[in-house]
Structure 1
Amino acid sequence: MDSKISDLSLIKDKDQYTIDDNFTLNVKFSLSGQIRDVFNEKNWTDAYEKNDNQFKLKYGIKIVSSGLRKHDIVKPINTYRKASIFWTRNPKLVNPMKEKRIWVQVAKNFEPYIKLTEEDVQKELFDFNE
């Protein structure tokens, strides 16, 4: 499987810190390649019909000190993404151009989102900015 992490960036909240300052890091990256390409409407419909209705991702951030004896500076932070595939007749979700009934709900750190297009589902699931 040819997949990779792309567009990785760490953004700090300010340029200089004192010893007692708290700092905030924003982590931004995308998963690209085959993992993103195969998560499409045809494949998630096939998966649902085979009772395979969840896809989970987890990543962690760990900040350690440098030097001879490395140790954690802060407690590691874990982030979760989960795609739940479901069937519905909800008229708010039905696309009048298609007979689409299988949908994907993406949960980012347990907060659910339902997107109406395949591209929006892929962005929600595979683009990280936290």
Structure 2
Amino acid sequence: MKKIIILLFLSFSLTSYAQDKKLTCLDFNKGEFRNVSPNPNLNSIIIRMGNRQLEITNGVQSYKRIEWLNDCDYVLFFSKKEAKKDNFKKYINKNGGIKVKTVKIENNVLYYNTYYYENKKEVVEEGRLMKTSNHASFR
């Protein structure tokens, strides 16, 4: 009986510790996320592994290459295959990609700003990335 109580206590303690863990930028470099945007058309699921990212928005998949600037900030580039078919994506890639700068992390949410150029004008947008899983796999 004592062994069961000790095991339950240890299990509860480990679960509590895992929930209290403060996430850092490195926790957002790999895993599955939900991108939450003020524009509901831009809400998406993101799966990230190393320097590759898959975004699924309204059932449409988009692959991106990540160029890490540091543990928190990075630049996104559309896949060459996608950029060939879409002039906007080609323009973004040729003009430095989409820069993503971390603003803050609260609980399991990373707040960020994106910066990119459209018609020689800088566009700045805010967003939130909610971590949903450490698991990440795609082709």
TM-score (norm 2): 0.26
Bigger fraction of residues in helix: 2
TM-score (norm 1): 0.28
